[in-house]
Amino acid sequence: MNEEPERPIHLAGVHLMRHRHACALFRNQEQEEKVIIPFLKEGLDRGERAFFISGTEVRTRLLRKLRLAGIEVATAEKRGQLKMEQWGPSIVRSGHFDQEAMAARLEDILVEGRKQGFELTRLVGRMDWVREHNIGIYELVEYEKRLNHLLQKYDDPIICDYDLSAFNAGVLVDILRTHPVAIIGDVAAENPFFDSPEVILQEINKRGA
């Protein structure tokens, strides 16, 4: 990964530079769209790849908003520049969260973008599956630790998109601390609360979570 990428990426009013793994905490669809749509549009306009992982209902809304923003959605999808995907069964197998499979799928997406000739892939993953599959905070922090390590090899920006109303305050604080960049509402910043996942895991163990 380059220490100083040539072109900054604009996200919620800031330029992403070396740190490109962000945690986004949104209260509603309006906040989410205000951040995510310009972020994806900038990449598409530059000839980069946009990849969004979510449920079906969010896909329909997002595509409509991208069209309203001036993106030729059908054309972008046909040439592989815009991709939509649902979280697959690899998330939870026999009641167990498969962190390795999840991280491997995300890396596959980034590598695939390079092979198709795209300089960067802007990847946004809605984290609704955490609540739906009742993933514990310890497992989630372990996964984010794995993801932080993986993303040291790539310049591609990754946004983990969380619904503020779906998680309690304690869980949100732990989630926030695992990301070097934080987006709360429509404002992004280098995260002053970013901490070593090892430290967070030790604290969770002490709490008995």
Token pair in block for residue 33: 């769209």
For the segment 156-184, the average pLDDT, to the nearest whole number, is 90
102-133: pLDDT as tens digits: 899 999 999 999 999 999 999 999 998 888 88
> What band does 2 get if pLDDT is binned at 50, 70 and 90?
very low
Question: What's the pTM?
Answer: 0.88
93-107: pLDDT as tens digits: 766 888 888 899 999
Give me the pLDDT at residue 94, please.
67
183-197: pLDDT as tens digits: 888 888 888 888 887
Identify whether the C-beta of residue 53 lies closer than 8 Å to the C-beta of residue 60. no
- Domain boundaries 20-207, corresponding CATH code: 3.40.50.300
Q: Please check the confidence at residue 1 and state whether its pLDDT lies above 70.
A: no
